[in-house]
């Protein structure tokens, strides 16, 4: 003859339910965290790709600026357009602007 203890079975079943719920909650949390990790890695790869493209564009722009401001090209342009290099250039200042405005008024 078997003697059953209903109180003990209820305790065991409650403990199993708690363990099962913890495992399910942990599994769901793991899936969400893994999904976030994958998204972060994908975003990081995109950012690294964008940085490489930006560096490439930056180097192309620098290269074109250096080509434009090449001293040899500037000298050649000056010679072609009959420009001369002044040793003591006179820059426009407030004093010269006032003088120029007086000349214009007269």
| pLDDT of 47 higher than 70 | yes
Give the separation between CA 91 and CA 71, rounded to whole angstroms.
22
Mean per-residue pLDDT over the chain, rounded: 86
Q: Which residues contact 85 (CB under 8 A, 6 or more apart)?
A: 78
> 78 Cβ partners below 8 Å, 6+ apart?
84, 85
The residues near 77 (Cβ < 8 Å, ≥ 6 apart) are 83
Which pair of tokens denotes residue 75? 């000298």
Summarize the confidence of residues 86-95 as an average pLDDT. Answer: 74
Q: Work out the percent of the chain whose per-residue pLDDT is above 90.
A: 50
pLDDT band for 90, please (50, 70, 90 cuts): confident
C-alpha triplet 41, 47, 52: angle, nearest 5°: 130
Q: What is the mean pLDDT of residues 3-12?
A: 66
Model pLDDT, residue 3: 64
């Amino acid at each position: 003859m078997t003697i059953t203890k209903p109180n003990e079975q209820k305790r065991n079943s409650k403990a199993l339910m708690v363990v099962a719920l913890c495992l399910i909650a942990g599994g769901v949390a793991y899936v969400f965290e893994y999904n976030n990790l994958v998204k972060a890695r994908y975003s990081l790869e995109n950012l690294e790709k964008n940085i490489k493209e930006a560096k490439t564009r930056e180097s192309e722009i620098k290269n074109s600026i250096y080509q434009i401001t090449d001293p040899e090209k500037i000298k050649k342009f000056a010679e072609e357009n009959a420009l001369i290099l002044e040793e003591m250039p006179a820059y426009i200042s407030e004093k010269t602007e006032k003088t120029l405005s007086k000349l214009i008024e007269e």
